[in-house]
Amino acid sequence: MREARPGAFIETSAATPPAERLARVLERFPALAVAVSGGVDSLTLASFAFAHGVPLTVIHAVSPAVPAEATMRVRHLAVAQGWELIVTGTGEFEDKRYRDNPVDRCYFCKTNLYDRVAGLTDRPIASGANLDDLGDYRPGLIAATERRVVHPLIEAGLAKSDVRALARALGLGEVAELPAQPCLASRVETGIAIHAADLAFVERAERRLAVLTGGGTLRCRITRQGVVVELGPEAMGHAGAVDTLMAGLCGEAARVYAGTRAYRRGAMFVGA
């Protein structure tokens, strides 16, 4: 299997503050195009680079796999900070390799994304991948490596906790506390074809579930057994109410509801 090598760490003392390490990485770039998803990592990277005077183009891709609230968040920050923002489609749903949902689906998603971004800017493309991402199965990093995408947070040795601390220092408010939120296609079990209608159902269900449980970690999964809701420890006390809500939503949508279970990261990667 192809191996992703996202980049080297800068040479600095472990005692060097994360913000200083990231600033040193960004000094290498006369300008950047940051691909932002609407999550804490890429938004923090874009905000930090902009605040440090790096000429910046921010590019956000919309698709059925991107929650509408993520796009709204990007647009809000772009106006608030004065970014040059480009919103584009990615075209991944035109790629049968992506829609077939193999275990390396993310490779084809990121291939489409970065090829589209490269056609919109001559600036080096940067992602918001952080150090913790290297511990996961991330085929999208392979596509990034093949296209010379840079990962400033990784190069600076920043983990997720460092990124959140940086977001707080930048005054990004609720962005700093956003839960990890992979794309909606990650809710679909490997081998089940990706359909926009499934992702719309997942987005609607998770929005309702978040209100019901008060937030925290939860996932609405599309599996071979039916719709499953995974709950983090903080939401387990709401399992009964979740069952009632989801039974209703699945009944309205003519879907099978298969109950709740404990949240497990990467649960949809069957055979990974």
Task: Quote the pLDDT of residue 5.
Answer: 46
What is the distance between the alpha carbons of residues 224 and 4, in angstroms, rounded to a whole number?
30
Which of 85, 97, 172 has the alpha carbon at shortest distance from 121? Answer: 85
188 SS3 class: strand
Q: In what order do the strands lie in the sheet containing 257-262?
A: 218-223, 226-231, 257-262
pTM (predicted TM-score): 0.90
Residues 188 and 219 sit within 8 Å (Cβ to Cβ): no
- Long-range CB pairs of 223-227 (<8 Å, 24+ gap) are 223/189, 223/192, 223/258, 223/268, 224/189, 224/192, 225/256, 225/258, 226/250, 226/255, 226/256, 226/257, 226/258, 227/201, 227/255, 227/256, 227/257, 227/258
Task: Quote the pLDDT of residue 14.
Answer: 60
Residue 20 has pLDDT above 90, yes or no: yes
Q: State whether the Cα torsion 14-17-18-20 is positive or negative.
A: negative
Please write the tens of the pLDDT for every residue from 73-92: 999 999 999 999 999 998 89
Residues of the chain with pLDDT > 90: what percent?
85
Task: Quote the pLDDT of residue 143.
Answer: 95
Task: Quote the pLDDT of residue 6.
Answer: 54
Please write the tens of the pLDDT for every residue from 212-269: 999 888 999 999 999 999 999 999 999 999 999 999 999 999 999 999 999 987 766 6
Please write the tens of the pLDDT for every residue from 191-217: 999 999 999 999 999 999 999 999 888
Residue 271 — very low, low, confident or very high, per pLDDT cuts 50/70/90? very low
DSSP assignment of 113-174 equals HHHHHHTT-SSPEE----GGGGGS--THHHHHHHTT-B-HHHHTT--HHHHHHHHHHTT-GG
Please write the tens of the pLDDT for every residue from 155-182: 999 999 999 999 999 999 999 999 888 8
Residue 7 has pLDDT above 60, yes or no: no
Task: Quote the pLDDT of residue 264.
Answer: 87
Task: Quote the pLDDT of residue 13.
Answer: 53
**186, two tokens:** 């990650």
**177, two tokens:** 């506390």
What is the distance between the alpha carbons of residues 45 and 96, in angstroms, rounded to a whole number?
32
Residues 102 and 11 sit within 8 Å (Cβ to Cβ): no
Task: Quote the pLDDT of residue 3.
Answer: 40
Task: Quote the pLDDT of residue 267.
Answer: 61
Please write the tens of the pLDDT for every residue from 93-141: 999 999 999 999 999 999 999 999 999 999 999 999 999 999 878 899 9
